[in-house]
Structure 1
Amino acid sequence: MAEAPSEEITRTDDGLCDFTARELSALLSAREVSAREVVQAHLARIERTNPAVNAIVTLVPEQALAEAHEADQRLARGADVGPLHGLPIAHKDTHDTAGILTTYGTPLLADNVPDRDELIVERMRAAGAITIGKTNVPEFAAGSHTFNPVFGATRNPYDLSRSAGGSSGGAAAALACGMQPLADGSDMGGSLRNPASYCNVVGFRPSPGRVPTWPEDTAWATMAVQGPMARNVADTALLLSVMAGPDPRSPISLETPGSSFRKSLHCDPAGLRVAWSPDLGGRLPVEPAVTAVVEDAALVFSELGAEVVQDCPDFTGAEEVFRTLRAWQFEAGLGAVLAREPDSVKFDLADNIRQGIGLVGADIARAEKLHSALFHRMRAFFERYDVLLLPVSQLVPFPVEWEWPREVADVPMHSYLDWMRSAYYVSATGCPALSVPGGFTPDGLPVGVQIVGAHRADFTVLQAGYAFEQATLYGDRRPEL
């Protein structure tokens, strides 16, 4: 655990919100600050900043303060407390929370109050986290721009006229503003990584099975995962240590205990073999501002002593794999909803579900064969390299009024998915991937760098991200609201 910070603590305002999760944890464990004070500080920050960005859409202050009081009492009695003791967290509005409104961003569930926590929430609460509310999402978490007809759009804290990304956009914006020190999210096509890139925070897509999910109707599926977000890599690893680990309710959960992610992330960058590509091997259009950030990241690793080579795996088939298996999973999860309420689901999402309805066995078989071939090409690629540097998103944060970008670098985009390929091609590989702050455009918009690792090499990816973060400190730059 990190040492308590040396800065003077101001309890008369919300200054506590600027400490890292590990710093807050050290203060709480040493009883230099109470859980109630930490929660009060974050509630004050939410009251001051949330109206501008619309990141947290449901707030439960009375419940949070009551839980904070109980947490303080447990510590005072000398009881064991978890690694997230006293830390306030607003959960993604697609993660079921017992007794708390969970809308999935759709009017169809505008009054939905689950009667139990899902596994990821259950684990965080068992580790001592205090629930303060829910963060905004696109409808049913479909897409990388956070807006819905229930709560409206989440705005980018660095430029309120721009998108915060999605689907964990509310989580990323809340982190950037200091409304919470840690956040949970999920990622099928980039939903942990894209908003992290757009909001200058860290988002980690772990290997499938690293963070088990329950309840889950398609329990064997691997395209969608849940994972952690934070303002730095070490805090991200801390939250992953709570989320990760085996669970008998998930057939694909990995046996490695979550506690393994509490080890030091320090490594010698000179021992890293780093590949990088500005455009996934010439496959994708990428805005020059994004390309420049990836190039700079490669230079940073080179200056740290790593062996850096411009190279890229062959992503052939990734498009068909992702689109087919995503449509299949959307139909499995939402087909019945569309059948009951055909006019109540937004057009793009309904179209994806219908694509799933139209699939036949041969389509799934072809996608799985391509999926397997892609896995083996990635396996061979990572025999030569430890990590791969890529763009997270192909363009910088776009105007919040847009449904989705109609072009990237003058190349037309034909659907709300097209501009997300730099993230969802990686999803199709099953490899762990981290979005870490990579710099800013001349007009102050954040741009992340995507660090991808070999099959199940989650810790290596976090170590590389930590080395880059410590060398650049881009993540220290906070928005001025």
Structure 2
Amino acid sequence: MPPFTGPELCALQAHEAVALLKKGEVSRDELIDAAITRIGTVEPDVNAMPTLCETRARKAELDGSQADHPGYLAGLPIGIKDLTPVAGVRTTWGTPGLADFVPEASAPLVLRLEARGGVVLGKTNTPEMGAGANTFNAVFGMTRNPWDTSLNAGGSSGGAAVSLATGEVWLSHGSDLAGSCRTPAAFCGVVGMRPSPGIAGPGPAGNGFHLEAVQGPMARSVRDCALFLDAMAGFNPDWAISFPPPQTSYQQAVAEADPHVRIAFTPDLGGFAPCAPEVETHLRRALGQVERAGAMISEDCPNVTGLDHAYRTARALLWANGAGALPETVQAQFKASLRQNIQQGRELSLDDIVTAGRAKSDIFDRMVAFLKHFDVLACPVVGLMPGPVEEEFPTEIEGQTLTDYIDWLRFSFLAATAGLPALSVPVGRDRHGIPVGLQLIGPPRGEARLLQVARAVEMAMGGPLGPIDPVVTHG
């Protein structure tokens, strides 16, 4: 493991820091001091959290009215992805046309997190409008992988993952449409979760009924991920698809985890997604370790017929109705891949939409039936290890040509299309020392069991990893 030379407070897991806050053994300002020190040290090498709001964080009022809530954070500093407005804090969506935008109001999820004791310390970097799995934009530049700063940190929640891996903050908010929580978590050695739609706040602005794009928790451990999901979750009748959490907290579910879990594994989703041999070999080795700890592992795969068309259609509709509805002065400065997505949405036919809707329903039904026999479906998060940070996206995997900037993210399509919870949990590091993540997909609104399985995997693999100093390999 690379060393960690930051403040001792920054090495704590989130639940440990929250416990100290609740007991009065550490103050919010002491945590802010530690975080600001760490950010100042590592940001020049990784560029994870380019916008800070330290003064706002120190002045934030904690009313304590939800102090008994299981997700109460008690003054813990957190990061918010730069696609989500925070009142009075520069929010750019990584696009030049909004580079100086400062919202007057915070997004609903931010208000919920602040009501539950979260203190926003800064905004984490993202690709433009969240489009892509390499975190770079024309406003703030590239975010680098802390395990090797010449590599891609993943995206679109790349800044969030790196802020955790380097110990800048204890919890960091993400969002996920094509693996945007899961891919950077896998590349950076942290946990990234996309909950079922409606669990963690409303959908994208202007797309309140959209099911593919969700917000979710990112953390350095499964237990901390459960804590953050507890802080995010809760029914609100003002949100179109809001869904209540279970009566027992997600943290309690994780505390009751045991190694006797049932996992179906597929290395390629039945030929749907290519996977490099080094990734498959590593995951098989990791699952062997999980099996020896008490799990039942079966190689099996659901029928994913129609998945590609269904996912791409829903994604294109979201872009056309989201970024594609912004003023032309903003859209004129979009990168080419983003403009292409928007145009695809505008060109969809009625047949495209009808066919995709039917396929989506069929895929959901097949997944529900499949998961009656297993706790989760396990597969790669992505089919290859991170590439050079300067490369927007890979163009081939194992000789298979990739057609566009999301083709290499095919493993992320299933959970998004079927509206299922999924996460990435670290399962060790490859021969070059870079973390590898395993994707786990659970049944609808099955977050509690999904987190239990993830904890079983984490325990079998000796995790969590913990924060590191960036391994600087670029000039």
1:55 to 36, 48, 58: 48
The alpha-carbon deviation at position 174 of structure 1 amounts to: 0.4
Amino acid at match of 2:41: R
SS of the residue corresponding to residue 155 of structure 1 reads coil
CA RMSD, 1 decimal: 2.0
User: Residue 283 in 1 paired to residue 272 in 2?
Assistant: yes
SS of the residue corresponding to residue 156 of structure 1 reads coil
Amino acid at match of 2:97: L
Partner of 1:180: 169
The alpha-carbon deviation at position 102 of structure 1 amounts to: 0.3
What pairs up with 1:247-262 in 2 under 5 angstroms? 247-256=236-245, 260-262=249-251
Amino acid at match of 2:349: V
Native 8 Å contact 1:81 1:127 kept in 2:
no
The 1-side partners of 2:115 and 2:27 are apart by 18
SS of the residue corresponding to residue 123 of structure 1 reads helix
Partner of 2:39: 46
The 2-side partners of 1:260 and 1:33 are apart by 25
The alpha-carbon deviation at position 50 of structure 1 amounts to: 1.1
Identity %: 42
Partner of 1:28: 21
Native 8 Å contact 1:118 1:215 kept in 2:
no
What pairs up with 1:27-426 in 2 under 5 angstroms? 27-67=20-60, 70-71=61-62, 80=67, 83-213=72-202, 216-256=205-245, 260-267=249-256, 269=258, 271-337=260-326, 339-341=328-330, 343-426=332-415
The alpha-carbon deviation at position 294 of structure 1 amounts to: 1.8
The alpha-carbon deviation at position 272 of structure 1 amounts to: 2.2
TM-score (norm 2): 0.93
The alpha-carbon deviation at position 386 of structure 1 amounts to: 1.1
Larger mean Cα displacement after TM superposition, 78-87 or 388-397? 78-87
SS of the residue corresponding to residue 134 of structure 1 reads strand
Deviations for 1:286-308, whole angstroms, at most 9, x for unmatched residues? 11221123212321231122221
The 2-side partners of 1:47 and 1:373 are apart by 50
- Structure 1, unpaired ranges of 5+: 1-11
Judged with a 3 Å threshold, the aligned counterparts in structure 2 of structure 1 residues 220 and 13 are, in CA distance, closer, same or farther, namely closer
Partner of 1:444: 433
The 1-side partners of 2:111 and 2:352 are apart by 37
Partner of 2:473: none
Amino acid at match of 1:14: P
Native 8 Å contact 2:11 2:467 kept in 1:
no
Native 8 Å contact 1:338 1:350 kept in 2:
no
The 1-side partners of 2:76 and 2:466 are apart by 22
Amino acid at match of 1:197: A
- Structure 2, unpaired ranges of 5+: 471-475
Greater relative contact order, per chain length (Cα 8 Å cut-off, separation 6+): 2
The alpha-carbon deviation at position 338 of structure 1 amounts to: 6.8
Judged with a 3 Å threshold, the aligned counterparts in structure 2 of structure 1 residues 349 and 34 are, in CA distance, closer, same or farther, namely same
SS of the residue corresponding to residue 207 of structure 1 reads coil
The alpha-carbon deviation at position 361 of structure 1 amounts to: 2.1
The alpha-carbon deviation at position 477 of structure 1 amounts to: 5.0
